Amino acid sequence: MDYSWVLLTLGISLIAGKLGDHFMEKLKLPGVLGEILMGMFLGNLIYFGFIDGNHLTLHNNEIFEFLSKLGIIFLLFLGGLDTNIAEVKKTGAIATVSTVFGVLFPLVMGYLALVSVGYPSQEAFAAGVILTATSIGLTVRVMMDLGVLKTDVGYASLSASIMDDFLGIMLIIFVVGMGDLTSLFGKLGLFVIIGFIGWKLIGKYISFAEKLHVQRGILSFILALLFIFSFLAENWFEAAIEGSFLAGLILSKTPEGKAVMNDVKTIGYSFLIPLFFVYTGASLDLGVFGNYDALSLAVILTVVAVISKVVGRGLGAKLMGWNTKKSLQMGIGSIPRAEIALINLMVAVNAGIISEGNVPKFIAATLIFITVSILITPPLLKWAFKDECTLN
């Protein structure tokens, strides 16, 4: 492999991402949308054959993909680091109920919608599962940019999206009959225990780092904790972001954790986080919109994906006593779908749940509804939080 082209791609991606960020800010839209759109532009230059994918390595390159995924890991780590535990506890019940409704509504509505147009029940149920998981990274980034992540809606949305992922993993295991739910619950319990031990011992861990008296020693030890927890979550659940969030949450109780936040932001926002959103945009192939067989399925999935999440999560928040405005904000924050939806789809495909003849249609339709959900969420969130943005 010629690594020089990866270096070129990194440089082009960072410049393009920040230019997109700048243009969107000028239009008073969330900057992350510009990073995604610039990624789409670059990625589709490759998809449509204008640029050789061996030279602009946005696709099918393990190094670029790994660095990009570090971006979402850093973003969720920052989300955890910037979290107020007391506020999370206050919104815990609302987040839990909203999660249940926000998973149940897409699951049931997706199943009923596809059965009603003639899909087999097993494929329809798999589609429902695909619709359940929210792309937490996009919502966190937009809320951070708008300055509303440290609100009750922000904390509840963050907690609910974390729970979404775990429920999605359990559902796909149930649907395809692969793996062992008992083993999954065992790993989840062990992960919680490790998190509790980390919570109790974090002070001693930081004190040890301080005693070394080496340059940026505390920052190195904090990043080490981030990577270790991300490894455990990825190895056990294929969900590194949950591990990074837990690491940030543990460190949020320490003054040292808060002190290095600017250093972590510098690494994240100058390098890794823009890469992730450019990479996300680059993976959205506009060519799928020309697959007319998939468009009807895509319309159904997109409508159900948006309505079911907004209504489901919003209704859960409303039933727990939140007003209509906050409930709507909670619902809109759950619209975007991305990597977990694709993972669930491919697990169902590989398990033979989706018939061979319908596989291309499902893949194209899923890419379409993911693309739409990613593009509409930033402006919708800005509209939903317009009053809070004015105050900020």
Q: What is the mean pLDDT of residues 359-388?
A: 90
Which single residue is written with the structure tokens 């100058």? 270
Does 181 or 167 have the greater pLDDT score?
167
Query: How many C-beta atoms surround the C-beta of residue 242 within 10 A?
Result: 27
Are the CB atoms for 130 and 110 separated by under 8 Å? Answer: yes
- Per-residue confidence band for 1, with pLDDT thresholds at 50, 70 and 90: low
Does 166 or 319 have the greater pLDDT score?
319
Task: Calculate what percentage of the chain has a pLDDT beyond 70.
Answer: 97
Are the CB atoms for 253 and 84 separated by under 8 Å? Answer: no
Exposed, middle or buried by CB within 10 Å (0-12, 13-18, 19+), for 204?
A: exposed
Mean pLDDT lowest among 53-62, 172-181, 289-298: 172-181
Q: What is the mean pLDDT of residues 294-323?
A: 94
pLDDT of residue 206: 94
d(CA 392, CA 389): 5
Averaged pLDDT score across all residues of the chain: 89
How far, CA to CA in Å, does 138 sit from each of 26, 54, 58, 98, 221? 20, 28, 19, 19, 27
Q: What is the mean pLDDT of residues 88-99?
A: 89
The separation between CA 50 and the C-alpha centre of its own chain, rounded to angstroms, equals 30
Does 186 or 350 have the greater pLDDT score?
186
- Per-residue confidence band for 187, with pLDDT thresholds at 50, 70 and 90: confident
Cα end-to-end distance, the chain, whole Å: 48
Query: pLDDT (tens digit, 9 = 90+) per residue, 66-79?
Result: 999 999 999 989 98
pLDDT of residue 340: 77
pLDDT of residue 110: 95
Q: What is the DSSP string of 285-329?
A: -GGGGG-HHHHHHHHHHHHHHHHHHHHHHHHHHHHTT--HHHHHH
How far, CA to CA in Å, does 316 sit from each of 105, 111, 153, 308? 10, 20, 13, 12
Which single residue is written with the structure tokens 């402006």? 379
pLDDT of residue 351: 77
Name the nearest CA neighbour of 149 among 67, 233, 216, 84. Answer: 84
Query: pLDDT (tens digit, 9 = 90+) per residue, 200-217?
Result: 999 999 999 999 999 999
Are the CB atoms for 96 and 163 separated by under 8 Å? Answer: yes
Residues 6+ apart with CB under 8 A from 257: 81, 206, 222, 248, 251
pLDDT at 102 over 80: yes
Query: pLDDT (tens digit, 9 = 90+) per residue, 218-250?
Result: 999 999 999 999 999 988 877 788 899 999 999
Residues 6+ apart with CB under 8 A from 296: 117
pLDDT of residue 297: 92
Query: pLDDT (tens digit, 9 = 90+) per residue, 254-276?
Result: 999 888 999 999 999 999 999 99
pLDDT at 197 over 70: yes
d(CA 269, CA 18): 10
pLDDT at 391 over 80: no
Residues 6+ apart with CB under 8 A from 72: 137, 241, 273, 276
Residues 6+ apart with CB under 8 A from 65: 279
d(CA 333, CA 157): 7
d(CA 25, CA 37): 13
Name the region of 206 (left: φ>0; alpha: ψ -120 to 50; beta: rest).
alpha
Q: What is the DSSP letter of 60?
A: S
Q: What is the mean pLDDT of residues 346-360?
A: 82
pLDDT of residue 202: 94
Residue 150: helix, strand or coil by DSSP? coil
d(CA 37, CA 376): 12
pTM above 0.75? yes
Gyration radius from the chain CA atoms: 21
Q: What is the mean pLDDT of residues 28-50?
A: 91
Query: pLDDT (tens digit, 9 = 90+) per residue, 109-139?
Result: 999 999 999 999 989 998 999 999 888 888 8
Mean pLDDT lowest among 6-10, 49-53, 355-359: 355-359
